[in-house]
Amino acid sequence: MTGFAHFPAGGLAVVVGGSGGVGGALVSRLRSETGFREVVSLSRSGAPKLDLTSEESIEAAVRSLSGDIRLVIDATGALHGDGFMPEKSLKEISGAHLAWSFAVNAVGPALLMKHFLPLLPKVGPAVFATLSARVGSIGDNNIGGWYSYRASKAALNQLVHTAAIELRRRAPEAVCVALHPGTVATNLSRPFAKTGLDVRPPEVAADDLLAVIAALKPAQTGGFFDYRGDAIAW
Ligand SMILES: NC(=O)c1ccc[n+]([C@@H]2O[C@H](COP(=O)([O-])OP(=O)(O)OC[C@H]3O[C@@H](n4cnc5c(N)ncnc54)[C@H](OP(=O)(O)O)[C@@H]3O)[C@@H](O)[C@H]2O)c1
């Protein structure tokens, strides 16, 4: 049902952030519904431990993998934590909050691309997808607020687009994209999931994301798409 039949048999799928709400659902769906030889879940609570703020831990986790890596989904990210809540106005901006958001939402995923993209096979379908957020869209920002999260996701989108250009030169069938999962019932959204919002269970979000990923074409590399597969304005 998730449509990965066109991927070569025996490939490896990796979910970074498999300990999270969306990441955990992606791992279970990939394990039960698709034909990947193995689905590896990496997180900072697993072994080997992968912490986005430590390039050494990313390198070691990537080195521990063997085989034909066909799919990498980065399901990490942070909106609140370490004493930070999204800013409602300019007066709440702090360098520490901005730096924290960029470290987790942009620098960490950039390091994942640095270490994973060179391992994607030169021939045949392969995907690196990172979970961004619609609020990272500059063109779609009509209500303001959430400075650090928005800016760090916008930076992530630029990093994905730039890395996709480089990846295409070596592996023309491989795809590198940023995806918006929709509003999903997880720890990340809990403080903000107001009634009236379309908040979807992680399992539904995972199915939607996998359907979008499985249908991606090489020409779509470098793009920013929502869980229905529709392109989002930069
Ligand atoms: N939920 C939504 O409504 C929504 C909407 C738009 C976009 N998104 C995006 O979707 C993605 C997944 O979010 P979610 O809702 O599943 O959130 P979540 O349940 O809070 O999961 C976040 C994941 O990121 C990991 N993470 C955070 N900091 C890390 C670090 N320094 N090193 C390694 N891993 C780290 C967490 O690991 P630990 O378990 O170790 O903390 C966890 O696996 C995020 O990129 C988020 O921005 C979510």
Q: Which of 40, 134, 186 to mutate to test the pocket of ligand 1 (most atoms within 8 A of CB)?
A: 186
Residue minimizing CA distance to atom 17 of ligand 1: 188
List the pLDDT tens digit at each of the 234 positions of the chain.
468 999 998 999 999 999 999 999 999 999 998 789 999 999 999 999 999 999 999 999 999 999 999 999 999 999 999 999 999 999 999 999 999 999 999 999 999 999 999 999 999 999 999 999 999 999 999 999 999 999 999 999 999 999 999 999 999 999 999 999 999 999 999 998 776 678 999 999 999 999 999 999 999 999 999 999 999 999
pTM for the whole structure: 0.98
Phi/psi zone of residue 145: left (φ > 0), alpha (ψ -120 to 50 degrees), beta? left
Is the CB–ligand 1 distance for residue 86 below 6 Å? no
What gap in Å lies between CA 229 and CA 231, rounded to an integer? 7
Helix ranges, 124-228 (H) = 147-170, 202-215
Q: How far is CA 159 from CA 120, 132, 155, 166, 224, in A?
A: 17, 11, 6, 11, 12
Dihedral sign from CA coordinates of 22, 12, 111, 167: negative
Q: Give the neighbor-by-neighbor strand order of the sheet with 126-131.
A: 38-42, 12-16, 69-74, 126-131, 174-180, 224-226
Is the CB–ligand 1 distance for residue 44 below 6 Å? yes
What's the 17 CA to ligand 1 centre distance in angstroms? 7
Residue minimizing CA distance to atom 7 of ligand 1: 133
Spatial CA neighbour of 25 closest among 208, 228, 166 = 208
